Amino acid sequence: MNHYELLMTLGIIALAYLSYINKNVNDKIKENCLLRPLNINNYSGFIQVEASQLDSGTSAWCRGESNVDRTCKFHYLCYNSLNDDFIFFHGPRSMASGLPQDRFSPALTDLSSVPNHNTQYFNFVDLPLEAMESFDQIFLLHGNSFIFNRFNPSNLMHVFHDDLLPLFHTLSEINYGDINSSDSRLLFFDGHAKLDHFHLYKLFSSQIPLLKSDLNKSGNSLVCFERAFIGLSNATTWYQYGFQEPQGSVRNSKITARTILLFTDYLKAKLGIEKEEQSQSRLNGILIGRRTNRLILNEEHLVMALARDLHISVQLLHLEDTSIKEAIQRISSTDVLIGVHGSALILSMFLQKGALLVEIFPFAVNPEHYTPYKTLVSIPGLNVKYLAWRNMERENTVFNKSALAEFGGIDHLSAEEQNRILDSSEVPLHLCCNDPEWLFRIYQDTVVDVHSFISAVRKSISEDLAGERDTPQIYPAKVNKVVCRKLMAVDVVKLEVNWQQPWNVKYLKAVIKEDIKYEVWIQQAFVDNTKAWILNTTGYIFEGEFLADSTYFVWVRCIINNQIGPFSDVTIC
């Protein structure tokens, strides 16, 4: 019962967040008039078929332990827009592998990389194959369809973190590294229109992605997918948005610098961005400016001071009037990226090695509590420096009590609550998504204290990078040709063991940083008595309480840079 109630409570929180997202999305649509004309029934991929052509019914193959990590492949999965449901048609040739005992607790898979969010659940409705005849029309989409939800497609941080990187990872797994293989399309099932960043998603598919609205056919119709894949990987996500606990980095995230680098290389190549020659003479920087809120009120002073005191030539970059391609191009070759905490900073993943990200936090906002970009650039091997600068001076902040609540206004709150917020000097930890104190503070404008800022940046620039490398785990191969011989003396038995170094070691010269070590295990046969030695030779004469009439089992394994290789096959002595 408790579990269930928790679920419901979370559901309500999640719905609140979604309504917040939807509001923003709708605003954007109005702003940009991006609603595409719908060519219902004319989309080139749809082919009208008879029910008899799909008489093998639906089949499903799922992998994974829960909706969070489960992926499913379907043959002839169908969708009915009238009921807004996917359908599994059970026929005598339907296969179903890996379906969980209860696919409603809470769902079969997640449609988004954001885990276990109750607006992102995928399931299907069961029908007998015979019921297929009852539908008005059946349209078939040939080839591979990859179906998922964009989580918040109007916010650049969400676009990259929740969608594009997971898409890159999932598609490369599906197609053995070939991201946009010829026979596959994306289908956004989130219900949003194309929106601003559609062109970025398009880079991951050789065909134009479909929207959910493209599946709206007249009457009670079916759209069936020859092959559908569902389940966006969350292996690359590094941040959770605070639905169940205050926001923060994902524990045990599997994101690596390699993945980021391959992703940014892919995206730059697709966008046609070429590597720029750099003038090494002086540092250059980019200040990401905002136009309506969360402003830096003394941008120009700051830029001047950076030039004067640190010889950093800073250019302003406004995402409102810069294409993503240009923004990425410029950020890729800058030395210092500066911006107030906000979604544009997701582009810091394009920073080059040795660059510095400076994230500015308004008054009363603790940088340690909002770390999506710090976590990102701190991934070992990216080698990007990070500085959080926080306005600690109440007099340097400018707030707008009367703004709309979603932009931080607090006029709608009780006088008591308003005063409490105004008096507070730090937003307490909170859950997503509508905490008024958080919104009030994060939308503040800031006069950056130039002296404090310059001094912090100077320090960061001069600091050495830890220089961690995202090195592959290279293990020694199996130790071969282990030979063991009993040396019998009058009063003592010794075991002489010799072996060969693993065959791959001779190719690892450049990788090996310390002595090659060997671990030797000797066990008296069928006795619970095993001893182990660490050596740096390929042979040794062991002395101990060995018995002349006992049998001994010997195993050897090699250790290189603390990477422990596999044991040799057993040798009997």
474 binds a second copy (CB under 8 A): yes
What letter would DSSP give residue 405? G
570 binds a second copy (CB under 8 A): yes
Nearer to a second copy, 14 or 302 (CB): 14
Alpha-carbon distance values, 78 to 87, 120, 124, 139, 298 (Å):
5, 18, 9, 9, 56
Beta bridge partners of 318: 289
For a second copy, which stretch binds (CB under 8 A), given 29-37, 165-173, 395-403, 424-432? 165-173
Cis geometry, peptide bond prior to residue 106 (ω within 30 degrees of 0) = yes
Exactly one of 18, 25, 54, 75 binds a second copy (CB under 8 A); that residue is 75
Separation of alpha carbons 256 and 345, rounded Å: 19
Separation of alpha carbons 313 and 305, rounded Å: 10
Beta bridge partners of 148: 188
Exactly one of 158, 161, 169, 197 binds a second copy (CB under 8 A); that residue is 169
Q: Alpha-carbon dihedral of residues 406, 409, 414, 418, nearest 10 degrees?
A: 130
541 binds a second copy (CB under 8 A): no
Task: Please return the burial class of 325, using the count of CB atoms within 10 Å of its CB with bins 0-12, 13-18 and 19+.
Answer: middle
Q: What is the CA radius of gyration of the chain?
A: 30
404 binds a second copy (CB under 8 A): no
Helix 165-174 to helix 257-271 angle (10° resolution) is 90
**Do the beta carbons of residue 320 and residue 339 sit within 8 Å?**
no
447 binds a second copy (CB under 8 A): no
Q: Using CB under 8 A as the criterion, what x/- string covers residues 340-379 for binding a second copy?
A: ----------------------------------------
209 binds a second copy (CB under 8 A): no
Cβ count within 10 A of residue 330? 19
Separation of alpha carbons 149 and 353, rounded Å: 33
119 binds a second copy (CB under 8 A): no
Nearer to a second copy, 456 or 474 (CB): 474
**Tokens standing for residue 115:** 């885990």
Task: Characterise 64 by phi-psi region: left (phi > 0), alpha (psi -120 to 50), beta (else).
Answer: left
Nearer to a second copy, 27 or 126 (CB): 126
51 binds a second copy (CB under 8 A): no
Alpha-carbon distance values, 142 to 51, 123, 132, 172, 224 (Å):
15, 21, 18, 20, 9
Exactly one of 52, 292, 473, 562 binds a second copy (CB under 8 A); that residue is 473
Within residues 214-233, the interface with a second copy by CB under 8 A covers 226-227
Separation of alpha carbons 470 and 298, rounded Å: 39
For a second copy, which stretch binds (CB under 8 A), given 344-352, 429-437, 489-497, 500-508? 500-508
Q: Find the shortest distance in angstroms from Cβ 339 to a second copy.
A: 29
565 binds a second copy (CB under 8 A): yes
How many chain residues interact with a second copy (CB under 8 A)? 69
Alpha-carbon distance values, 218 to 136, 139, 145, 285 (Å):
9, 11, 22, 54
Cβ count within 10 A of residue 540? 17
The C-alpha angle 113, 213, 121, rounded to 5 degrees, equals 30
125 binds a second copy (CB under 8 A): yes
Q: Find the shortest distance in angstroms from Cβ 154 to a second copy.
A: 25
Separation of alpha carbons 546 and 489, rounded Å: 11
481 binds a second copy (CB under 8 A): no
528 binds a second copy (CB under 8 A): yes
For a second copy, which stretch binds (CB under 8 A), given 46-54, 72-80, 410-418, 438-446? 72-80
Reduced to 3 states (helix: H, G, I; strand: E, B; else coil), residue 171 is: helix
Q: Using CB under 8 A as the criterion, what x/- string covers residues 9-28 for binding a second copy?
A: --xx----------------
For a second copy, which stretch binds (CB under 8 A), given 34-42, 398-406, 458-466, 562-570? 562-570
Alpha helices in 87-218 (DSSP H): 156-158, 165-174, 198-202
454 binds a second copy (CB under 8 A): no
**Tokens standing for residue 518:** 């060997």
183 binds a second copy (CB under 8 A): no
Exactly one of 48, 182, 530, 536 binds a second copy (CB under 8 A); that residue is 530
523 binds a second copy (CB under 8 A): yes
CB contact set of 546 (below 8 Å; sequence gap of 6+): 486, 493, 494, 495, 552
Separation of alpha carbons 370 and 248, rounded Å: 6
What letter would DSSP give residue 38? P
39 binds a second copy (CB under 8 A): no
Reduced to 3 states (helix: H, G, I; strand: E, B; else coil), residue 548 is: coil
Reduced to 3 states (helix: H, G, I; strand: E, B; else coil), residue 524 is: strand
Cis geometry, peptide bond prior to residue 72 (ω within 30 degrees of 0) = no
For a second copy, which stretch binds (CB under 8 A), given 203-211, 303-311, 333-341, 523-531? 523-531
Q: Using CB under 8 A as the criterion, what x/- string covers residues 77-116 for binding a second copy?
A: ------x-x----x--xxxxxxx--x-x------------
176 binds a second copy (CB under 8 A): yes
465 binds a second copy (CB under 8 A): no
128 binds a second copy (CB under 8 A): yes
Q: Using CB under 8 A as the criterion, what x/- string covers residues 134-163 for binding a second copy?
A: x-----------------------------
Site residues for a second copy per CB under 8 A:
1-2, 4-5, 8, 11-12, 56, 59, 61, 63-65, 73-75, 83, 85, 90, 93-99, 102, 104, 123, 125-128, 130-131, 134, 169, 172-173, 176-177, 226-227, 235, 254, 258-259, 262, 472-475, 477, 502-504, 507-508, 510-511, 523, 528, 530, 553, 564-567, 570
